[in-house]
A and B are shown apart, each in its own frame.
Chain A
């Protein structure tokens, strides 16, 4: 302090700070610091977080040349690296699957890798090498477009907390045993791994995100689940399977998640839940469930309506509800079982905490309107009910409004917002 004005300002900062600075630089700039001075020559080589993308090498019009350059860059960076590598991320659409990946993963498996993220171009899928399963210290694994085939000797990733597989080709039993052999798993995301039948056994699981064509999902043991987001796509196969299924899907999926705080269901989720034998009472009260978002709920199908009602009536602390409809206006207009709402609808029912309701894609079909009426009557602290009609419904809007205006409101403060679009 106060020496010659040409004193080196930065090289003598502690290694942890230098590392913190270098980690915040794009990898290419970090590597370039080796050109600064002799003290900086190998400073970058001990970085524990390596994030590669197409910015690491200069762009080039020649695709093949660019790929080569990038592969070279990564290989050399790994080769020059010293010490453990905790995070390796490679996300670029410019690189397709290449044989070097196997070697990189082998290298990383010897370097105590903890976080591994690989997302490459779309035209070729990686085949995950068996050395991937030797990365004993993995805490987070994200793979895109790959083929996963755990060897029979694989005993699981004992430290894995976060698993994200996107468009991964894997057999049902392989993925099931993978999940169940990761005892610390907290967050699981499976997208577009098609035709899976899943039994999820994950005692520490807190966040679950499933999207794709699932034949069957059963949350066998996920007592700590907090957030669940499921999007179920339908194919003929699955439809058939559903028809033949006799077990109650609602119980299978939502039967043992008492701590659930947020539920998001898309596409055929409510349909899926509606299938199965629903005789008998549902034992579970979702006392922590605060937010429910259900999309593509078909108000033509009484069963789906029942599922929704069941969910919300068993969630005493519900604060926010969002429902997006998908009714076929023509058929739904001729609803015959409207008397349900007067006779059988669970009442008296009070949603003591419900403050916000958003109804979107509303077609104005009778059941939708009855449902809205029901909510308005039963929500004493409601603050906002926003209704957005389906863009294709133009004529019915006025009727919708006329009906809406008549509904009784339990909450004096409730605002009904009709959103024009």
Chain B
């Protein structure tokens, strides 16, 4: 401990030391004037009288690990000396923040927990410089961010999305799919409502069983139930699988055109930003009976996942073969082609027909 030696040799230069303890338990001694540069430590010393001895070491916040602490102390040691010129400070700062991104983030976090604002500003600026001008993929790569957004969500917000036909189509497809699933969900919910301990429907059941007075809701439910059971078996998962199936088959071009064509025929383009969740076309609500309520809440998350995956797949395909597809669409026009299997295309084209 050379500082201690020095203190012995030159008593007039004796500095006072502060004891700091990091979250991993290790304790170290730091010159007081250096440590006091951090407001949090300063506060601990002055207001709580801590830090004067090993037993009363100041516990630093968990985000400050020993290596970060030493970096921060280096920073403090330089800056707390009043003699440096602004230029010197700037060049020190420039050199100081040259480190890999991981450490930079840890440093920002540690500096923030010690309330060392100048260092937080410095590191924030450095992080902003890293982010600026990069594509989302690059940024995700640098910061190890999970790529957990749907394709739809990844479309750049605030862009004039009516310009890009891809987005329009994607929007429409997504909206249709969600509508499908929402309807299915409603059917499912109606059933599960009866299974759950929902007082009203149990009463209804009882009254129905007892042949008593039924309110209109009960009526609907039971009728719906019959219909739904049939439908559920046939439709629900089947069509979802079909959708995936038809994608995976290499008649991509065909499917795409089909749906695109159908979509074009039936739904006027509302345009608008893809960012609004649950954006729906105007035509449908009038044809189908809906309960009110938030669309998003009613879709089962697992199902939602599925939709997202499908749309993602779809979008990926879109993104890769867009020019060719465009050609195909334009040349083939609105021609409708039958798709293998259960005429799934027809299902998507006119879901309302299935209700009647």
Contacts and interface: CB of A to CB of B under 8 A. Distances in A.
A binds B: yes
Interface of A: 1, 5-11, 13-14, 16-17, 20-22, 24-26, 29, 31-41, 68-69, 72-73, 76-77, 80
B143 A32 contact: no
Contacts of A69: 160
B183 to A, nearest CB: 26
Nearest to B135: A32
B275 interface: yes
* Top 9 A-B residue pairs of the complex, sorted by shortest distance between their CB atoms: A24-B128, A35-B136, A20-B124, A9-B105, A37-B145, A10-B143, A76-B158, A9-B143, A21-B124
A20 B147 contact: no
Contacts of B133: 29
B120 interface: yes
B273 A25 contact: no
Interface stretch (B75-83, B106-114, B259-267, B286-294): B106-114
Nearest to A2: B65
Contacts of B143: 8-11
Interface in B138-154: 139-140, 143-149, 153-154
Contacts of A17: 108-109, 112, 120, 124
29 contacts: A1-B65, A5-B144, A6-B144, A8-B145, A9-B143, A10-B145, A11-B145, A13-B108, A14-B109, A14-B112, A17-B108, A21-B127, A22-B128, A24-B128, A25-B131, A26-B132, A31-B158, A32-B156, A35-B136, A35-B153, A35-B156, A37-B145, A37-B147, A37-B149, A38-B146, A73-B158, A76-B158, A76-B273, A80-B157
Contacts of A7: 144
B121 interface: yes
A37 B140 contact: yes
Contacts of B156: 32, 35
Nearest to A4: B144
B237 interface: no
Contacts of A41: 149, 153
Contacts of A31: 157-158
A31 B146 CA distance: 18
A29 B102 contact: no
Contacts of A68: 160
Most buried by B among A6, A34, A36, A38: A36
Contacts of A22: 128
Nearest to B100: A9
Contacts of B89: none
A39 B147 CA distance: 10
Contacts of B160: 68-69, 72
B125 interface: yes
Contact of B128 (A14, A21, A40, A80): A21
Nearest to A38: B148
Contact of A25 (B102, B109, B132, B275): B132
A41 B273 CA distance: 15
Nearest to B275: A80
A11 B146 CA distance: 10
Contacts of A16: 112
Summarize A's interface: helix, strand, loop or mixed. helix
A35 B154 contact: yes
Contacts of B251: none
Contacts of B144: 5-9
Given A8-B144, A10-B127, A37-B148, A76 B105 contact: no
A34 B150 CA distance: 12
B301 to A, nearest CB: 13
B132 A29 contact: yes
A41 B156 CA distance: 11
B105 A25 contact: no
B101 interface: yes
Contacts of A29: 131-133
A25 B128 contact: yes
A1 B139 contact: no
A14 B136 CA distance: 21
A79 B356 CA distance: 40
A46 B7 CA distance: 52
Contacts of A36: 136, 139-140, 145, 149
A11 B131 CA distance: 13
Contact of B121 (A6, A20, A38, A80): A20
Nearest to A77: B158
A77 B139 CA distance: 22
B109 A24 contact: no
Nearest to A40: B145
A36 B148 CA distance: 8
B145 A24 contact: no
A37 B125 CA distance: 21
Nearest to A6: B144
A306 B147 CA distance: 75
A74 B149 CA distance: 24
Contacts of A73: 158
A21 B125 CA distance: 6
B145 A80 contact: no
A32 B135 CA distance: 8
A385 B37 CA distance: 44
Contacts of A5: 144
From A14, A17, A68, A69, name the one whose CB has the most chain B CB atoms within 10 angstroms: A17
A314 to B, nearest CB: 36
A385 B109 CA distance: 54
A36 B147 CA distance: 7
Contacts of B131: 21, 25, 29, 33
Nearest to B106: A1
A45 to B, nearest CB: 10
